[in-house]
């Protein structure tokens, strides 16, 4: 089956596997081997974890680009268009190149069923294989051990954090989830882990797999200053790095990976500084407007929500805080709202335009359970955001979070001027 447009391909791909998520490496490995997509002539960095994957990948890409290297970057999900998932030397993959990749995959897979994410991953690997690249950065989609990205043996594997999310697939405890995340570690290769409280299952998995484990807080660390931040490991100590537009926790993980690959991809402190200053990650504590200040963040699980609450608290706000909120039914809404329980804010809630959207009544029930009473209901995120924008004074703050879908709707509304 060959389609003419990317939209046609994506619509068709969504229909090819009855299961939206089908964790197994067998199918994707068969097709990847058929297309010779498992070996690359440049270092590969795999980034997994519950939160911070996208920011860590963006930091890696920004620094390597500033150093003059050509990077291939695969991330998910996208916010506004599918092409965002595949970057080649800083440019989004074109519709034509993605269509060609999908056609090659379709010809190779024969009767092997693939999920949407598996098609996407193979398309990225196909385009990276055809491009002259110096480094490849792959973001894990879900879990790690059985994620399609794990079909490639990476030179450095990063687990950013481990927390509760995707319990239907990964387990109900941090320990179980940590085991799945650590499945991206490889024998004899560096494995970087970001949690300061180092889960035993992650540490044990690294040891069992024979990976060379580097722990944040033990083998490398960072410290935030007023106008800059400091980073050190056993070989380097930087004392005046510019603060990036991502959490320092994630930037620190990226610096450790870059340090470990120095023999293959040499770097300078000046290049690191340039890269840190250029990091931009759409939807991660992103400011869309200034009067009122409008911020969006894709935080969609308890850990990310806690981090967002702390980050906004450090930034502060004047007057009322106006929050546009919605989540998917599959997410833990109560625990994600818990950090905000005593925050004096005006809430604007609406259902998402997605088959997995949480019903408005479910969201409202969580608000009632937590004693959050200052909220208004709307039919769409666009309407909720429009009301929040209109009600907020020029000096106040509007925040939208809860899902990639929430943030995408707000960004589109802001970009089109329909506020």
The whole-number pLDDT of residue 18 equals 65
> Is residue 373 domain-resident?
yes
Distance of alpha carbon 158 from alpha carbon 168, whole angstroms: 23
pLDDT of residue 16: 82
Q: Would you state the pLDDT for residue 68?
A: 98
Whether residue 345 is contained in a domain is answered as yes
Q: What is the pLDDT of residue 416?
A: 78
Give the domain-ending residue among 248, 278, 308. Answer: 278
- Strand ranges (DSSP E) for 123-258? 135-139, 156-159, 190-193, 212-215, 220-224, 228-233, 237-242
Contact 198, 215 (CB under 8 A): yes
Residues 293 and 365 in one domain: yes
Residues 195 and 255 in one domain: yes
Last residue of a domain, one of 278, 312, 346: 278
8 Å CB contact between 137 and 152: no
Answer yes or no: do 252 and 142 share one domain: yes
Same domain as 218, residue 306: no
Residue 349: give its domain's CATH number.
Answer: 3.90.190.20
Query: Which of 249, 278, 307 is a domain's end point?
Result: 278
Residue 63 in any domain: the answer is yes
Write the CATH number for 229. Answer: 3.40.1190.10
The answer to whether the CB of 25 falls within 8 A of the CB of 180 is: no
Distance between CA atoms of residues 391 and 396, nearest Å: 10
Q: What is the predicted pLDDT for the residue at 135?
A: 98
Rounded Cα distance between 363 and 359, Å, is 7
| Beta strands 375-377 and 345-349, pairing class | parallel
Q: Domain range for residue 40?
A: 6-278
Domain annotation covers residue 242: yes
* Overall number of domains in the chain: 2
Are residue 328 and residue 210 in the same domain, yes or no?
Answer: no
In a domain, 72, yes or no: yes
Asked if residue 1 is part of any domain, the answer here is no
Cα–Cα distance, 231 to 237 (Å, whole number): 6
- 175 and 295 in a single domain? The answer is no
Looking at residue 418, what is its pLDDT? 67
Give me the torsion for CA of 404, 419, 306, 161, rounded to 10°: 30
pLDDT of residue 415: 81
Distance of CA 156 to the CA centre of its chain: 18
268 & 299 share domain = no
Is residue 231 located within the same domain as residue 314? no
Determine the Cα–Cα distance for residues 126 and 104; give it in Å rounded to an integer. 9
* 298 and 259 in a common domain: no
Q: Let me know whether 169 and 227 are in one domain.
A: yes
Could you tell me if residue 296 is inside a domain? yes
* pLDDT at res. 1: 64
pLDDT tens for the 419 residues of the chain, in order: 678 899 999 999 988 876 767 778 999 999 999 999 999 999 999 999 999 999 999 999 999 999 999 999 999 999 999 999 999 999 999 999 999 999 999 999 998 999 999 999 999 999 999 999 999 999 999 999 999 999 999 999 999 999 988 878 888 899 999 999 999 999 999 999 999 999 999 999 999 999 999 999 999 999 999 999 999 999 999 999 999 999 999 999 999 999 999 999 999 999 999 999 999 999 999 999 999 999 999 999 999 999 999 999 999 999 999 999 999 999 999 999 999 999 999 999 999 999 999 999 999 999 999 999 999 999 999 999 999 999 999 999 999 999 999 999 999 999 877 66
- Give the bridge partners for 45, in sequence order: 137, 156
Strands (E), 225-268: 228-233, 237-242
Co-location of 156 and 182 in the same domain: yes
Looking at the structure, do residues 150 and 183 belong to the same domain, yes or no?
yes
330 to 6, 33, 165, 168, 200: CA distances (angstroms): 28, 34, 9, 9, 27
């Amino acid at each position: 089956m060959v389609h003419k447009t990317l939209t046609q391909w994506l619509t068709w791909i969504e229909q090819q596997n009855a299961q939206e998520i089908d964790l197994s490496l067998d199918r994707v490995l068969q097709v990847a081997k058929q297309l010779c997509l498992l070996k690359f002539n440049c270092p590969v960095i795999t980034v997994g974890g519950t939160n911070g994957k996208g920011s860590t990948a963006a930091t890696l890409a920004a620094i390597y680009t500033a150093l003059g290297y050509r990077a291939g970057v695969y991330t998910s999900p996208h916010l506004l268009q599918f092409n965002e998932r595949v970057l080649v030397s800083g440019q989004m993959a074109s519709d034509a190149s993605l269509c060609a990749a999908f056609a090659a995959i379709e010809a190779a897979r024969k009767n092997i069923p693939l999920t949407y994410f598996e098609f996407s991953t193979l398309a990225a690997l196909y385009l990276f294989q055809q491009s002259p690249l110096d480094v490849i950065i792959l973001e894990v989609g879900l879990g790690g051990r059985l994620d399609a990205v794990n079909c490639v043996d990476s030179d450095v594997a990063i687990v950013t954090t481990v927390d509760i999310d995707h319990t239907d697939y990964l387990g109900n405890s941090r320990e179980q989830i940590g085991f799945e995340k650590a499945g991206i570690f490889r024998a004899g290769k560096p494995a970087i882990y970001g949690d300061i409280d180092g889960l035993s299952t992650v540490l044990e998995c690294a040891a069992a797999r024979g990976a060379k484990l580097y722990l944040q807080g033990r083998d490398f660390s960072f410290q935030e200053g007023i106008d800059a931040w400091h980073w050190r490991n056993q070989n380097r100590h930087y004392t005046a790095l510019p603060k990036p537009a991502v959490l320092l926790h994630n930037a620190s993980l990226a610096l450790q990976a870059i340090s470990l690959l120095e023999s293959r991809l040499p770097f300078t402190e000046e290049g690191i500084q340039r890269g840190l200053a250029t990091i931009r990650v759409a939807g991660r504590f992103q400011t869309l407007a200034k009067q009122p200040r409008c911020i969006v963040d894709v935080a969609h699980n308890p850990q990310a929500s806690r981090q967002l609450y702390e980050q906004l608290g450090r930034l502060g706000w004047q007057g009322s805080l106006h929050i546009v909120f919605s989540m998917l039914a599959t997410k833990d809404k109560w625990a994600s709202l818990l950090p905000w329980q005593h925050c004096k804010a005006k809430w604007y809630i609406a259902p998402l335009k997605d088959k997995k959207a949480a019903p408005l009544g479910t969201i409202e029930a969580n608000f009632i359970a937590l004693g959050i009473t200052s909220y208004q209901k709307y039919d769409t995120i666009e309407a909720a955001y429009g009301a929040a924008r209109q009600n907020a004074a020029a000096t106040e703050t509007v925040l939208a979070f809860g899902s990639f879908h929430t943030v995408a709707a707000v960004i589109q509304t802001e970009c089109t001027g329909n506020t």
